[in-house]
Structure 1
């Protein structure tokens, strides 16, 4: 028989708060079942799924994208190395874009955030006379297309 985990055991083992586990469950990221006494129980696969959620969240993957990826896995089976490779490959383009954005931000900033404030004459992101305002709101020069 496969090991069953209580919500407290999953929280302790995964390093995720009980409230976060409940949120993940309400969001469809993980599943539990109820015992005859109406207590939540999780299968062993939930630990790997929570690990995937944590890693994906740490790099900025949205919960909607995480849910879509986890939905592609067979229910009740611990995700494998091949599963993780497939999931992470699906996120690669988005992560590459984020990395490029962060590099541009790191390398292009001195003492402003590209806000177009026009008050820092030496800023490489200066937006004299708000010329970039015609292109829409928000920072324009630091956005990676």
Structure 2
């Protein structure tokens, strides 16, 4: 544990929570996951650098577009301790994730289109439905409600 220098510009967990809009429990979780770092007072209370506000904003923005915390952590590991993400940092992270996000978007669009077809026909036929039973895989297992029959 690195001690906090006297007069350091730091935030308590309550202040970080209030300013970021993220519950204290989530901040403690982020810290356990290694996404953010704190220093401890002599009384073992957490103190965060002001740069942590931008780090938390980066985490939340990344989560909101569907980036898993593991990937967010990998990118944040390149950020020096107590450094706020810069515009260049955000752009590099975005370019790293662009292909993954585009792939997810295409997958969601395919799922939406298949689901729309099912809603449109109303049958949810297990021998024809590409959403529930692609290629009639269940039909190969024999007649009856294969998903409901316990093996």
| TM-score w.r.t. length of structure 1 | 0.77
Q: Superposition RMSD on alpha carbons, in Å?
A: 2.8
Instruction: List aligned pairs for 1:41-120, cutoff 5 A.
Output: 41-110=47-116, 112=118, 119=125
SS at match of 2:48: strand
Q: Distance in 1 between matches of 2:98 and 2:92?
A: 10
Whose Rg is larger?
Answer: 2
Q: For residues 128 and 90 of structure 1, what CA distance do their matches in structure 2 show?
A: 32
Contact 2:79 2:85 in 1 (8 A): yes
Q: Which runs of 4+ in 1 moved over 6 A?
A: none
- Structure-2-length-normalised TM-score: 0.74
Select the residue among 36, 42, 50 that pairs with 1:36.
42
What is the CA–CA distance in structure 1 between the aligned matches of 2:72 and 2:47, rounded to whole Å? 22
Distance in 2, Cα, partners of 1:71 & 1:59:
20
Q: Is residue 112–residue 123 contact of structure 1 (8 Å, CA) maintained in 2?
A: yes
Q: How many residues align?
A: 131
Using the TM superposition, give the Cα deviation of residue 107 of structure 1 relative to its aligned residue in structure 2, in angstroms.
Answer: 2.4
Residue 126 to residue 41, structure 1, CA distance change in 2 (3 Å):
closer
Give unmatched runs, 5+ long, in structure 2: 1-6, 141-151
The 8 Å contact of residues 29 and 70 in structure 1, kept in 2 or not, is answered as yes
CA distance, structure 2, for counterparts of residue 33 and residue 49 of structure 1:
15
1:108 CA drift (Å)? 2.7
